[in-house]
Amino acid sequence: MSTASSLLRGGSASPRAVASKPAYGSQGEPLPSWFYTAAAIAAVLLAWSAVTGLGWVDPVYLPGPMSIIREFTALLRDGYKGSSLAVHIGISLYRTLLGFVLGVALGIPVGLLTGYNRVVSATVSPFMAFIRPIPPIAFIPMVVLYFGLSEAGKVVLIFFTAFNYAQLNAHAGAANIPLSYLRAAQSMGLGRRQIFLRVVAPAAIPQIFAGLKVAMALSWAVVVAAELVGAQKGLGFMISDAAQFFQIPVVFIGIGLIGLIGLLLNMLLNRLENWLVHWRGR
């Protein structure tokens, strides 16, 4: 008698019958996740090659994969506008990471204080609520006015972005500490300063990392806008300059590098989070 018939008649299936049933029909074990990822990437590349190879889109506007590879090889060999590709990547990373580190270094303490202390929150939060909706690129004219075309202006734009999201998430993490944690700390005789350092700050770390990921992604995106302001090097400069001269493969390469490097930066933050917040989910 089959397993299904036994169940319908009110009986129980034998352990052997249940265990021997494949999880996904007759195909056995499911394919690993990386297979689907690789298949999706291959499908996109195939469709891209077909669209450009069959002439459905003019290659002038959408270069094919082989054209991109040839241009990338040329950039690796010759660089762009007198600087190697590594220099363009390096200067963009330098601007982004410097602005990010400075913004986070100020944003996290301010956010923890506003989330924990009512007076500090009442003082600072209205200004943050006013500033936060303003996109960083709106400050470009002011940055040029106050800092000229120097590196400082570009770093300030990225600093502003990182500070906003680091402060917001640190505030949320500190403001949403379970009341039981605070009462337990008070019952142990801890003062406000000790509670802040030993309870509030550690408990807010997961929320802080959520803000760091958003801040890093947006900081890396804002570097493109920052490098539109008088920059002579960097991926943002490379993209904007190539677009002006209709060097579309270079534009695609610059965009692709920004996406790839942004992915790697996010992976590094994930690894750091897994190392620091090892207790999460346990």
* Averages of pLDDT over each 10 residues, the chain, 282 residues: 43 45 53 83 84 76 85 89 89 91 93 88 88 82 78 85 91 84 78 80 85 90 79 85 86 90 90 77 54
Whether 188 and 272 share a structural domain: yes
What pLDDT score does 278 carry?
Answer: 66
CATH number, domain containing residue 191: 1.10.3720.10
What pLDDT score does 103 carry?
Answer: 94
Whether 175 and 243 share a structural domain: yes
Round to whole Å and give the CA distance between 69 and 171: 45
CA dist 197 → 116, 178, 190, 201, 280 (Å): 11, 15, 10, 6, 19
Residue 205 lies in a domain: yes
Whether 203 and 91 share a structural domain: yes
What pLDDT score does 281 carry?
Answer: 54
What pLDDT score does 10 carry?
Answer: 45
What pLDDT score does 27 carry?
Answer: 56
Residue 282 lies in a domain: no
Domain end point (choices 17, 48, 67): 67
Whether 45 and 93 share a structural domain: no
Whether 94 and 218 share a structural domain: yes
Whether 146 and 60 share a structural domain: no
pTM greater than 0.85 (yes/no): no
What pLDDT score does 282 carry?
Answer: 53
